[in-house]
Amino acid sequence: MDTAIGDDQADEPAKQVKSVAAGILGEFFDVLANEDGLADIAAGLGKTVLDDGIFAEPAIRATMFPEAS
């Protein structure tokens, strides 16, 4: 019986984790958007993190504080 995991099977959990993380972050940005005065920031953060895939401090900072850039 061959119990070795092939390369294609080893990638599957990472895809699931990514989609779980994206789901959790998406929910967070949705809740953040409902807070007073944070809708624009939440939309920008959602785009930066979820759509663009950038989670670096300079990009997050620029999204949260556009007037400082």
Question: Between these two residues, 4 and 53, which has the higher pLDDT value?
Answer: 53
Three-class HEC string of 1-69: CCCCCCHHHHHHHHHHHHHHHHHHHHHHHHHHHCCCCCHHHHHHHHHHHHHCCCCCHHHHHHHHCHHHC
Classify residue 22: in a domain, yes or no. yes
Residue 9, both tokens:
């099977």
pLDDT in tens, 53-65: 998 999 999 999 9
Classify residue 3: in a domain, yes or no. no
Classify residue 7: in a domain, yes or no. no
Q: How many domains does the chain have?
A: 1
List the Cα angle 29/41/36 in 5-degree steps. Answer: 85
Domain of 29, in residue numbers? 15-68
User: Are 45 and 31 a contacting pair, CB within 8 Å?
Assistant: no
The model's confidence at residue 3, banded by pLDDT at 50, 70 and 90, is: low
